[in-house]
Structure 1
């Protein structure tokens, strides 16, 4: 499904580009003129001039641009791309306001949009419209009644999403002819690549601003993720014997245990032919003999009371019962002396909290003293141990952090996101491997397993200060790194760049872009593909 949407978006881009040479689907500077009169609200008349705008009709292709003036503006929560004709008294100027949520770059499909004109010594004028039949586009129509320079504000209200866009000063002309003439000298940039909002909304697409930021150069090194000191414990058998399950059952690999938990018990070998299992069997045999003797005594006593047996038989049964009781008491005492309580066996307790990473014995198995039973790892805090090559160690200075990818993967993990801190850096070079260890400790909220192999980039003290963009904004175009800079919400400029440094998911730019510009990130490759269309694709709006 996603593949079909991407192919559809690309096909649309190429077809729309081709249309630019054919029939003119763009809107003239006058936009859509609506001749209906809009009445005043309230008795104030011109004192406030609060009007409710008609909702304009969409274009046949569903895009419905207002034409003329094009503005892209950002609030903290939304992007506004709006097109509208120049303003004139009495003219119905349709605003084609495209709203995109910045959280996930999806279109806003509900709510209402208000266009407000204020200042210039004239009463405030307000024009409002709800959602149009084209999802993501709102079409308020402004019919100004006051000439002059006005502050233009566009406000989106969609549930909890409120986005205010102050677009600056715009002139309300006295006549439509004067308004249209104001566009005659408007600058035009050639070579732009169209990628419309309707296409952006159908695929995974996002943009990001170019920001001034500090990054650090780095050196690459193989690395291992290992437990922090005190976070790795190996449990061995304290005595020879049979392994028995603990109170919570027999543990398994991956189980979470707490410090002090009884994992298993070991029934010790008592020497000779006697062991713990033999004592248990002896006790059970004594208990069975005692129960049988008691039953026989009770039976004979009842018969003696009826005169059916001699009293001598009762006394013999009483003596047998006392002997059986003594044997049971003795067997229980011997077992109690070696089992450490009713639970049985020598308790093996967890020395740390963590997960069982290794299990070398099963229930009922016989182990020797000192034999390894378990390995427990506390994965809450881990260490990244990077082995920096001797030739690179001199570049480190004071390491400023690190980021890494797992072996065979391309997702980057920055220790700054896991409260990472430097523990040790290159104190000595290994005489065999010729590497110097650089060690960081971090919170393992991502759940990395102990022993995981990684490729680390250790940040050196060599810093870069300049324009920074996300790494996924850069496209490799036949060996030339390029980005696509937003000219407006639907047109893009292909811009070659020179990369100064990569630091995690960020790229420092030596030349090509400046802070304040905005680049395509996710979905940038679709613009790259759309650029293969006709050169005329950059001229005007191809609809």
Structure 2
């Protein structure tokens, strides 16, 4: 009986000692403010740093515009009246399409002058031949033959000039001419109606070429320092078209000075035609850098002592400890921060509980 009673007592003593050894340190000391470390049970979300190419430098507002060479003015070679107008403003036209039929009185007068100039040239040619022959025979002085030859050249020049004027705009014998589209595009301006007058110094039609557009950008001063011609851009269309794929383009010019009013730098990018690309439309433009960087969630970055830091899991710490590490931010876009220096691909960073880790580090 004695032997059977001793065994349970020994077991109870061992269990009591084991329970005392496994008690949490905070409970033994009575300290209820344990530091927020991995051992305290913080649920810290993590993210793996990854390498990215064509780093987004940021976004800037822009306005779609037409290139300077995209607009072509259609003018009449002579002043006259619009007998018929074939197009309306906003209409798409192809190269060579008729825009208007114009009648002018000046071409009729020029045709009469051309007929007289041709007759005078014929007479000058006959006289020059006759005097040249007489000069060769010694009947007259050679100077008189030279004068006749010069008059012939002058008459021929007048005929050539008048012939060129007659051929302008395909003017017919009755003074009518058809104005045609020199390029394909959209009629941005129609400034004449049937029966209205047309001035040779004004443009009754303006055509905007299709297929090429540009974007005027307002770059923040800090971003403008990194933007260079040749960098790629992506244009996101505003107004509920977020599902559409972004339109690509490229920076073609960056202004050398800052606008003193809005403290921004003007830049211009070229883009191609795409659904939704319309001159005058406001868009958001993302500028893509030409280098690479390390991307982490933007929430992982915090400011400590006026510098950007992230908390990186210690690879040598089996308990999952964290160390703060200073980093240099290259760009922020789309909820991510791109790191230029301070991180390597594959590093595990904290993506939540940053304030707790920051407070624990401060203590």
TM-score range, shorter chain: 0.3 to 0.5
Which structure exhibits the higher relative contact order, with contacts defined as CA atoms closer than 8 Å and separated by 6 or more residues?
A: 2
Output the TM-score relative to the length of structure 2. Answer: 0.45
Structure number with the higher helix fraction is 2
